[in-house]
Amino acid sequence: MKNHVLRNIGIMLLLWMAINTAGIAQTADSTLVLDTLIQQVLAQNPELQSSFQGWEASKTRITQQEALPDPTLGLNLMNLPVNSFALDQEPMTGKQISLMQPFPFPGKLDLKGDIARSDSEITLHQYHERRNQLIKKTKLAYYDLYYIDQALATVASNQELLKEFVEIAETRYGVGKGIQQDVLRAQVALSKMIDRELKLRQKREAIQAQINTLIDQPADAQLGKALASEPNPLEYELSSLIQQADSTSPMLAAWKTAVKQSGQQVDLALKERYPDFAVGLAYTQRNELQNGMPGYDFVSAMFNVKIPLFYNKKQNKKIEENRIRQSSVEYRYRNVANSVEQMLQQSLTNLEKHRRLVDLYKTGIIPQAEESLESSMAGYQNDKVDFLSLLDSELTLFEFRLDYHRFVADYHKAKAELEALIGTDL
C-alpha cells in the first residue's frame, strides 16, 4: 500500500513538472489573450473615449481664435429735438445705421491660432499618454491574473499531493509504523492549502472586476486564464531607451509642446504693445423738413485706434508674466525628462533582476528542491527521514514554484512599465 501511494506521489510530481513547462492545458475559449484584451480596452474604455472627444473639441478652438472679432451693428436716432421729438423739424435730425468691424493688430490672430493649435497638440499627446497608461494598467492586471491562475493550478496540484500524504500518514499510523501527529500535520497542511485556494479565488475575482472595468463590462463577467511567455535575455541599453523615449513618449511630447506654446504666448504678449483698430461705415437717412427744405442722406466713415496708454502697468507686465511662465514650463519639462530617465533606469534594473530570478529558479532552485523532495520521499520510504521533513520539503518546493510564477509576472510587469515610459512596445 505504501509503495503504491508513493508511486502515485511520483506520478503527481511528473505531472506538475509537465504543467510547469507546458502551461495549463486550456481550450481556446478559456484562454484570455493579452493582445485581444488590449484591443478591447482601446475600443471600449470610457475614459479613453472621453479623452479622445476632448481632443476633438480642442481642434474646434483653433478657427475660433483665428476668426476676426464680431462686427457691431448700430441703429441710431441723431439730433432729435426734445421739444417735439419730430423727425422733420431740424435739418440735422436723421436715422442712422452703422457697421463697425474691429481688427486686431496684424499677427495677433495668427499667434492666437498657433496657441490654440499647440493646446490641441497637447491634448492629443495627453490622449496618447492616457492610452499608454491604460495599456500598462491592462498589462499589469493581466499578469496579476496570470500569477493567480498559475498559483491556483499549483495549489490544486499540491492539494492532491497532500491528500496522498494524509493517506500515507493514516496508513502508517494504522499499521503501527507512524504516529498520529503526522496525520494531524498532513491534515493541517491540507486545510491551509484549501484556505489558500479560497483566498486566491477571491483575489482573482477582484482582478477580474478590475479588468472588466477597463473594458466597460460587468464586474462579474467571466474571463479566461492568462498566459505569459518565458523572459528573454535583455537587449536594452539605458542610453538607447532614453533616446527612444525622447522621440516617442507622449508625455515628453506634451511638455515639449507646452514649452513651444509658452514661447508663443510671449510673442503674443509682445504684440499686445501694438494697438488694435476698427473700421466703420454709417448711413444716415433724413426726412424732408416741415418748411419744405429737402433732407439729403449722409454717408460716414469711421476709424478707431486703441491706444496702449498704460503700457508700463499693463502690456509690459503681461510680457514679464509670460516670460516667467515660459521659464517655469522649461524647468518643469527638464524635471519631467529627468524623472523619466530615473524611472527608465529603475524599470530596466527591475527587468534584469526578475529575468535573473526566473532563470535562477527555473534552472537551479526548483530542480534542486525537486531533487530534495524525491530524496525525502525515498528516505521516508526507507524509514530514514521523518514525516515532518518530507512535508517540509514538499511545502518548500510549493513556495518556490509560486515564487517562480511571481517573478515571471513581475518581469512582464516591469516590461510594461518600461514600454509605458518610452511610449511604444519593445
* Domain spans, the chain: 2-63+107-273+310-422, 69-103+275-307
How many Å apart are CA 426 and CA 417, to the nearest integer? 11
Q: Give 154-189 pLDDT, tens digit per residue.
A: 888 877 777 777 776 666 666 666 666 666 777 777
Give residue 290's pLDDT: 78
Give residue 426's pLDDT: 78
pLDDT bracket for residue 25 (50, 70, 90): very low
* Cell (9 digits) for 267: 510673442
Q: Give 379-408 pLDDT, tens digit per residue.
A: 776 667 676 777 777 788 888 898 999 999
Residue 11 C-alpha from the chain's centroid: 46
Residues 6+ apart with CB under 8 A from 323: 266
Asked if the model's pLDDT at residue 9 lies above 50, the reply is: no
pLDDT bracket for residue 4 (50, 70, 90): very low
E strand map for 246-310: 277-285, 298-305
Asked if the model's pLDDT at residue 15 lies above 90, the reply is: no
Give residue 130's pLDDT: 94
User: Scanning the structure block, which residue is given the C-alpha cell 502551461?
Assistant: 23
Report the range of poorest mean pLDDT among 127-136, 143-152, 186-195, 319-328: 186-195
Residue from 244, 299, 307, 249 nearest 273 by CA: 307
Give residue 173's pLDDT: 60
Report the range of poorest mean pLDDT among 58-67, 84-93, 146-155: 84-93
What CATH code is assigned to 2-63+107-273+310-422? 1.20.1600.10
Helix (H, G, I), strand (E, B) or coil at 89: coil
Instruction: Compute the mean pLDDT over every residue in the chain, rounded to the nearest whole number.
Output: 85
Report the range of poorest mean pLDDT among 6-15, 209-218, 290-299: 6-15
Give residue 302's pLDDT: 94
Asked if the model's pLDDT at residue 17 lies above 50, the reply is: no
How many Å apart are CA 127 and CA 380, to the nearest integer? 63
pLDDT bracket for residue 13 (50, 70, 90): very low
Q: Output the CA angle 116-121-124, nearest 5 degrees.
A: 130
Q: Give 70-112 pLDDT, tens digit per residue.
A: 999 999 988 888 888 888 888 888 899 999 999 999 999 999 9
How many Å apart are CA 117 and CA 260, to the nearest integer? 11
Residues 6+ apart with CB under 8 A from 229: none
For 234: left if phi > 0, alpha if psi spans -120 to 50, otherwise beta; the answer is beta
Give residue 379's pLDDT: 75
Give residue 182's pLDDT: 67
Dihedral, 215, 218, 224, 228 alpha carbons, nearest 10? 40
CB 407 within 8 A of CB 361: yes
Percentage with pLDDT > 90 across the chain: 53
CB 111 within 8 A of CB 271: yes
Give residue 332's pLDDT: 96
Pairing mode, if any, of strands 31-32 and 72-78?
unpaired
Residue with more model confidence, 167 or 36: 36
Q: Give 302-347 pLDDT, tens digit per residue.
A: 999 998 888 888 888 999 999 999 999 999 999 999 999 999 999 9
Percentage with pLDDT > 70 across the chain: 87
Give residue 269's pLDDT: 93
Residue with more model confidence, 367 or 140: 140
At position 18, the amino acid (one-letter code) is A
Give residue 102's pLDDT: 95
Report the range of poorest mean pLDDT among 163-167, 274-278, 362-366: 163-167
